[in-house]
Chain A
Amino acid sequence: MRILMFGWEFPPYISGGLGTACFGMTRALVERGHRVTFVVPSLPGSSRSAHVELLAALDFSAGCETAQAGITVGPVESPLRPYMAPEQYRTLLEGSLLASPGHYGPDLFGEVRRYGEAAGVIARLHPFDVIHAHEWLSVHAALRARKECGCPFILHIHALEFDRSGGNGNPDICAVERLGLAEADHVITVSHYTKGMIVERYGIDAGKVTVVHNAVSRGEAARAYGVVKQPGEKVVLFLGRITHQKGPGYFVEAASKVLRAFPGVTFVMAGSGDLMPQMVERVAELGMGSRFLFTGFLRGGEVERMYASSDLYVMPSVSEPFGIAPLEAMLYDVPVIITRQSGVSEVLHHALTVDFWDVDELADKICAALTYDALTREMIERGREELKAITWDRAAAGIEEVYKKVTGLAEPIEPTERTNQ
């Protein structure tokens, strides 16, 4: 099938799990015989490096002929970035040459609509069978494209505004989500957890929503890192955006309890986010600065090295539609603790689970994982088996079913012409 996909980000330039998911998903779809045109908003002009990043993205799709032959990454010039709040967008515009009135929208929403206009142009360029849009930011783009080409529009929800904000969230964003969910011909969610929320909060018919769990790609470099570890020295890792949604505060509080029992453990908080200053302050207040490290945002190889040198990965998310990071940690034979409020707990059984608010339970399980070798050994060995079944190909097969349902096309159509790049 010819798929027109709208997203936020695409590797290697990512700030969260969404880009990773889109990468794995599209590669698997291409391997199953589909052709994907992937449209991302990207930041032009203001920094030259953004332009280079853009080229690299194009190189990527053109260079790896065998694996990525069917994926075209088409950037639309736009300062949109994932995980962005309207306020941040304004700050970004003010500091940029693009801030001239009339040329760009005055706010994030204007920008989303502008992204939509461009999408309309792309949709006119080539024939497509289906439109597959990720998240609220691409709703306008998808609607516009549907208007142009008339093919069905699938909205793929990786997170809701409710998850990101931890409350009612931005009403404008909620409105776009509501519009997209209502207008879409079909909705895909990354977990039953998120499906339930859509049905409950937005009153969407459950029959219109299909759950396709995310997966994890095995990097070629996995386990190649010969990290030398000090015997007896244990590292407990948090890796993710330091925002309310990810529950970093619970990690800090649990760390202080664990350190009372195991003074030699090192806790690492990798990532960046708006709660970071607060976390640094709290760590200092609890007097555990020497045992608690902040690495800032990590990329590529750094992430892999970080996983490889950890003894335990903790994802204390408050509301996590899926959560790929624990699966990545498991690729490095790191046992994981996840919250029951996460979609990944629907597919991951060989992990310890806690309620995000229960700091005592979290500390208890961290201690157990650091103490009982048989526990982590069992989790790692069983986890390896379980990971084998959590593949992007399986996810792609699920997505394919949705395509068939909405388009009425039974078999994937072999691409007959190549899209311009």
Chain B
Amino acid sequence: MPSIVLCFHAHLPRPLRPYSFFDIGQSQEYFDEEGGREVLNRVAKNCYLPANKIVLGLIRRTRGRFRVSYSISGMLLEQLEKRQKAVLTSFRRLADTGSVEFLSEPYHHSLASLFSEDEFREQVALQRRKVRTLFGQVPRALRNTGLLYGDDMARIAESMGFRVILAGGAGQPAGFDATTPWRPAGCRKLTVLFGHDRLSGDIFPRCAGDAGNGQAPGADEYGRRLAGAYQDEEVINLFVDYETFGERCRSDTGILAFLESFPADLMRGRNWRFQTPSDAAADHEPADEIDVPGPISRADCKTGGAAWLGNHMQKDAARTLYALEAQIREAKNRKRMGVWRDLQDAEHFCRMNTAGVSDGARHHTFHPVASPYDAYIRYMNILKDFSGRLAAKTGVRS
């Protein structure tokens, strides 16, 4: 009888303001604060508050048997503290049940793990501290941005005291079994859990439609599928974006009702268990060692994060950004460091993705920009202004 590890990821980007070439050297207003506030309020109302209420209800009704986990970016936690106290309180209530585990992740939802180990460690530590302060838990499980994973990241995670790391399931060799916990090569205590891409994805794309108004999967049908095909597995890892519930898929698709009924059905009707990542790691011996040299991620992000770093613009933007690291550290200016880190948000790079643009495919974003080219231009203009100011301060020419 399998256990289900359900982990929700929550993050909202800090959107960029339209920033023209002629603003360079003139304006330091990079972020669209108002737009960000609007989206935060909307998502809080459509998703965070109602979904938290459902999850809390499930935990209470099952007397804590429904165990679930959240990975929330530091940026979002910070915004909730400032502007959406009610949401924060509802997360605290979840934490108080003892059935909810909070994970650590890079504070700024960044791709730092691909560019700078120092930066990656710092961001993970920052977010960990935030979770401890807000929820009274020290995270023992790590979820990298976009479920990026590789041997290097496993090594870093273990050295930081993590016992579990989550990973995307894409790019695995045929016959690879994602339904057992694995031990990363070279690690002694760390367990890696691979997300079940197809089953995780089933929850979102089915109801995405063109404008998030398709049909949510039926809880019965979903439960039957799981039961039919996965009855004998050990763990089924469902790693899902939390905003799927009520925001990406609007509530009239039945997605919130689905969230409420499918765990209850599985627990009541089939006696399946829900576990947090740490529960699963403690309960199940890793099958074997696994070697993952290159970075892998979620299926929808392609191997190694092609959705963020697949084209010339994305690579150029990321390289230009991370090339500033030494100068930033030298400048020792908290405000500048904060801006540099907010610019690391993977969402910025996601928007420069040109794949599928010709087919009219639109990636869901909270702040739509007209085209990937516009997204890149805006980002680079801002970076040009930012690095110019930095150079003026540190006396280094970029």
Contacts and interface: CB of A to CB of B under 8 A. Distances in A.
B312 A368 contact: no
A350 B357 contact: yes
B311 A378 contact: yes
B22 A364 contact: yes
Nearest to B380: A372
Given A353-B371, A375-B373, A386-B358, A364 B21 contact: yes
A381 B374 contact: no
A375 B377 contact: yes
Interface residues of A, number: 26
Given A368-B380, A372-B316, A378 B373 contact: yes
Interface in B12-63: 20-22
A228 interface: no
A378 B377 contact: no
Contacts of A364: 20-22, 377
Interface string B356-398: 0110000000000011011011001100000000000000000
Contacts of B376: 372, 374-375, 378
A200 to B, nearest CB: 24
B354 interface: yes
A62 B313 CA distance: 49
Contacts of A365: 377
B354 A378 contact: yes
B370 to A, nearest CB: 7
Interface in B294-330: 311-313, 315-317
Nearest to B357: A349
A367 B311 contact: no
A352 B372 CA distance: 10
Interface in B107-136: none
A306 interface: no
- Chain B interface size, as a band, is 20 to 34
Given A368-B21, A368-B381, A372-B316, A379 B358 contact: no
Given A349-B357, A381-B312, A371 B373 contact: no
A218 interface: no
Contacts of A374: 312-313, 315-317, 376
Interface in A343-370: 349-350, 352-353, 360-361, 363-365, 367-368
Contacts of A299: none
Interface string A368-407: 1001111101110110011001000000000000000000
A375 B22 contact: no
A84 interface: no
Nearest to B359: A349
B373 A379 contact: yes
B22 to A, nearest CB: 6
B375 to A, nearest CB: 11
A349 B312 contact: no
B312 A371 contact: no
A378 B22 CA distance: 23
Q: Most chain-B CB neighbours within 10 Å: which of A261, A360, A375, A379?
A: A375
Interface in A167-192: none
Contact of A375 (B313, B357, B370): B313
A349 B315 contact: no
Nearest to A368: B377
Contacts of B370: 353
13 contacts: A261-B22, A349-B358, A350-B373, A352-B374, A352-B377, A364-B377, A368-B381, A374-B313, A378-B311, A378-B313, A378-B354, A378-B376, A389-B358
Q: For the complex of A and B, list the 10 residue pairs with the smallest distance between their C-beta atoms, beginning with the closest.
A: A374-B316, A367-B21, A364-B20, A374-B312, A368-B377, A378-B312, A349-B357, A364-B21, A377-B312, A374-B313
Interface of B: 20-22, 311-313, 315-317, 354, 357-358, 370-371, 373-374, 376-377, 380-381
Given A360-B20, A375-B312, A389-B358, 20 more contacts: A261-B21, A261-B22, A349-B358, A350-B357, A352-B371, A363-B21, A364-B20, A367-B21, A367-B22, A372-B316, A372-B376, A374-B313, A374-B315, A374-B376, A375-B377, A375-B380, A378-B311, A378-B312, A382-B357, A382-B358
